[in-house]
Amino acid sequence: MPQFAVELRDVVKRFPGPSGEEVYAVKHVSLQIHDGEFFSLLGPSGCGKTTSLRMIAGFELPTTGAVMIHDRHMGETPPFQRPVNTVFQNYALFPHMTVGENVAFGLEMKRVPKTDIAPRVTEALRMVRLPGMEKRKPKQLSGGQQQRIALARALINRPEVLLLDEPLGALDLKLRKEMQLELKTLQREVGITFIYVTHDQEEALTMSDRIAVMSGGEVLQVGGAADIYERPNCRFVADFIGETNFLRGTVKEQKGKTTVVEVDGGITVRAESENSLAHGQSVTIAVRPEKIHLRPTSGAANAFAGRVEDLVYIGTDTHYGVRFAGDHRVRVREQNTDSASTPLARVGDEVTVSFAEAAARVLVE
Amino acid sequence: MSNRRSLWITLASLLVYVFLYAPIVVLVVFAFNSSKTNVIFEGVVNKGPCGPFYWFCVLFKNGEVLSAARNTMTIAIVSTVASTIIGTMAALALQRYAFPAKTFSEVSLYIPIVIPEIVMGIGILVLFSALFRWLNSAFGLQGDDRLALGLGTVIVSHIAFSIPFVALVVRARLHGFDKAIEEAAMDLGADEWVTFWRVTLPIIAPGVLSGGLLAFTLSLDDFVITFFTNGPGSTTLPIYVYGLLRRIITPEVNALSTVWIFTVLAALAISQRVQREA
Residue type (1 letter), B156: V
What are the chain A neighbours of B187 within 8 Å (beta carbons)? 57, 79-80, 84-86, 154
Averaged over B217-234, what is the pLDDT?
89
d(CA A72, CA B188): 19
With H, G, I as helix, E, B as strand and everything else as coil, classify residue A321.
strand
**Interface predicted TM-score (ipTM) of this complex, two decimals:** 0.84
Instruction: Tell me which residue of A99, A199, A212, A209 sits closest to A156, measured CA to CA.
Output: A99
Instruction: Tell me which residue of A221, A175, A187 sits closest to A201, measured CA to CA.
Output: A221
pLDDT of B278 above 70: no
pLDDT of B277 above 90: no
Each residue's pLDDT tens digit, A304-313: 888 999 989 8
Average pLDDT, chain A: 91
pLDDT of B1 above 80: no
Instruction: Tell me which residue of A347, A175, A358, A331 sits closest to A246, measured CA to CA.
Output: A331
pLDDT at B200: 94
- A97: exposed, middle or buried (Cβ count in 10 Å: 0-12, 13-18, 19+): middle
Question: Residues 89..148 of A with a Cβ closer than 8 Å to B: which?
Answer: 89-90, 92-96, 105-106, 109-110
* Model confidence band, residue B88 (pLDDT cutoffs 50, 70, 90): very high
d(CA A22, CA A162): 31
d(CA A259, CA A249): 12
Each residue's pLDDT tens digit, B228-268: 998 888 889 899 888 887 777 788 888 888 998 888 888 78
Each residue's pLDDT tens digit, A60-86: 999 999 999 999 999 999 999 999 999
pLDDT of B160 above 80: yes
Instruction: Tell me which residue of A328, A329, A357, A360 sits closest to A264, measured CA to CA.
Output: A328
Q: Decide if A94 and B185 are in contact by the 8 Å CB cutoff.
A: yes
pLDDT at A315: 83
pLDDT at B267: 79
Q: Which CATH number fits domain A6-237: 3.30.70.20, 2.40.30.10, 3.40.50.300, 3.60.70.12?
A: 3.40.50.300
d(CA A193, CA A36): 4
What are the chain A neighbours of B204 within 8 Å (beta carbons)? none
Instruction: Tell me which residue of B83, B82, B102, B85 sits closest to B94, measured CA to CA.
Output: B102
Q: Which CATH class is domain A244-364?
A: mainly beta
pLDDT of A340 above 70: no
Averaged over B108-116, what is the pLDDT?
88
Domain locations in chain A as residue ranges? 6-237, 244-364
With H, G, I as helix, E, B as strand and everything else as coil, classify residue A10.
strand
Query: Of A59, A90, A110, which has the smallest distance from its Cβ to B189's Cβ?
Result: A110
Q: Inter-axis angle of helices A173-190 and A143-155, to 10 degrees?
A: 20
Q: What domains are there in chain B, each with its CATH number?
A: 62-247 (1.10.3720.10)
What are the chain B neighbours of A92 within 8 Å (beta carbons)? 178, 180-181, 183-184
B183 in reach of chain A (CB within 8 A): yes
What are the chain A neighbours of B178 within 8 Å (beta carbons)? 90, 92
pLDDT at A114: 92
pLDDT at A217: 94
Q: How distant is the alpha carbon of residue A253 from its chain centre?
A: 34
Query: Of B189, B202, B203, which has the smallest distance from its Cβ to A109's Cβ?
Result: B189
B194 in reach of chain A (CB within 8 A): yes
Q: What strands, in cross-sheet order, belong to the sheet with A72-73?
A: A22-33, A6-16, A64-69, A72-73
**Sign of the CA dihedral A133, A134, A136, A137?**
positive
B277 in reach of chain A (CB within 8 A): no
Query: Which of residues A42 and A318 earns the better pLDDT score?
Result: A42
d(CA B77, CA B216): 7
A38-42 and A210-215 beta bridge pairing: parallel
d(CA A53, CA A196): 8
pLDDT at B21: 92
- Which residues have C-beta within 8 Å of that of residue B192, sequence separation ≥ 6? B186
Most B CBs within 10 Å: which of A88, A151, A197, as the mutation test of the B interface?
A88
Give A334→chain B minimum CA distance, Å.
Answer: 45
Question: What's chain A's length in residues?
Answer: 365
Q: What strands, in cross-sheet order, belong to the sheet with A328-335?
A: A328-335, A317-324, A302-313, A350-355
With H, G, I as helix, E, B as strand and everything else as coil, classify residue A127.
helix
pLDDT at B71: 93
Each residue's pLDDT tens digit, A254-299: 888 889 998 887 888 999 888 888 888 899 999 999 999 888 777 7
pLDDT of B113 above 60: yes
Each residue's pLDDT tens digit, B29-52: 988 888 877 778 888 888 878 888
pLDDT of B3 above 70: no
d(CA A134, CA A262): 66
Q: Inter-axis angle of helices B63-96 and B151-174, to 10 degrees?
A: 40
Question: Residues 30..69 of A with a Cβ closer than 8 Å to B: which?
Answer: 57, 59
